[in-house]
A and B are shown apart, each in its own frame.
Chain A
């Protein structure tokens, strides 16, 4: 293990590092021990509470919630990509009549808290689009606006020569955008889109405020029911989120590495790289 910032550790430094490692692990073990002790004395870790918390009906209720979360997230991500692509193109337009409203919409929805947005959509349109519709609409407006900026950056990052070459062979503006720029931009932006999926998945939990049945709401309902096992139920819900989102982040990282290798650009090294 080495880094530009420090020398390869010699025997003395290695001994010191080992000492720090042992000290840190000792602290971790001590804290873990105290936590377990505390949990036991508060009656959280008894087998009765564990069995009660993780009984089959509770687990299946949590899984129902997970389905609700995935459904809302799936719809919202599709909507966001479409919304983002449309408004990115709008914001890149040469015509101020199209560009300015698109810019205003993107900037507005990026600056307003999502909870506020979901609440007002639900208050106004719950009778027509329902709870799921309100949540998906809010998520789409916010994440679509974020993705619009990502797309725009992607289109701007495509080498100028690409669009010049396309104009040179007689393509029109629409053709340059749809046939040349967008396909290349989306390829580069794929990791960013997947990272946005993580945010959408987490934000579906805001459906709580409009009584949409998703994982966080259902785990809260179970938690109220089992009382002493509250912390266990929430931990299980958190693990579900972490597993899904961590896999998505890793996928995004993998795609990013592959894209940067294919593009022939060297991966930029930084002082923090530890090999």
Chain B
């Protein structure tokens, strides 16, 4: 227990890196996920094919392999993505890898949400003469928003937990700090584990809580 208090600031620093990773990769995943899902539902066959290929390739590759690609492989063909001392090469590599990985899941979550809207809604919109964009923006998407929240929340919870994989490419996020602390204080390792597990559980529950609020507010719009 004492070891957690003694290293409190170090632990907080670790979790701050975790949250930065979550923020940047989450934003990237959202932007790219929206682009991908628009590609996957578009009437143009090549775009659909490209979107589907991206999702199938990324979803079936281990995250760690993607992170290794960003750290070891892309620099060999001349990429360097270090921003500054805090957001260094390793951090940016991890954020890019996590973001591109999560984008495939965000795309699928958005698609699942839209899929849950009954087809009759679209048929009704079309039959009163709405165009594609009208039926999409005034009928389908407002309803889809609420349906999208739960699968999207699971995607972001998974992303928050996946930031821990970044320790394998040398990002000093929370799990990295835990491994170091456990090496230094082997006898207190269970306390250290419980402390860090609690930190992650707080992050996970916060995302679930935000999702709950959004879903309830969405219910009022209907």
Interface residues of A (CB under 8 A from B): 1, 3-6, 9, 13, 17, 20-21, 24-25, 28, 38-39, 42, 44, 108, 111-116, 119-120, 123-124, 198, 202-206, 208-209, 216, 219-220, 223-224, 227-228, 230-231, 234, 237-238, 241-242, 245-246, 249, 268-274
Contacts and interface: CB of A to CB of B under 8 A. Distances in A.
21 contacts: A20-B47, A24-B46, A42-B76, A42-B77, A108-B201, A111-B204, A113-B200, A116-B196, A208-B64, A223-B72, A223-B73, A230-B76, A231-B76, A234-B65, A241-B60, A241-B62, A242-B57, A268-B118, A270-B119, A271-B115, A271-B117
B132 A6 contact: yes
A254 to B, nearest CB: 15
Contacts of B204: 111
B175 A38 contact: no
B197 A112 contact: yes
A116 B193 contact: yes
Interface string B116-128: 1111011100100
A204 B65 CA distance: 11
A171 B41 CA distance: 50
Interface string B42-78: 0111111010000011011111110011001110111
Contacts of A21: 44-46
A6 to B, nearest CB: 4
Contacts of A238: 57, 61, 65, 69
B116 A115 contact: no
A13 B69 CA distance: 40
- What is the interface of chain B mostly: helix, strand, loop, or mixed? helix
Nearest to A242: B60
A270 B115 contact: yes
Given A25-B46, A111-B204, A42 B78 contact: yes
Contacts of A111: 161, 197, 200-201, 204-205
Contacts of A13: 43
Contacts of B135: 5
Given A223-B72, A230-B76, A119 B175 contact: yes
Contacts of B168: 115, 206, 208-209
Interface in B136-177: 136, 140, 161-165, 167-168, 175
A-B pairs, top 3 by smallest CB distance, nearest first, are A245-B60, A271-B122, A205-B62
Nearest to A270: B115
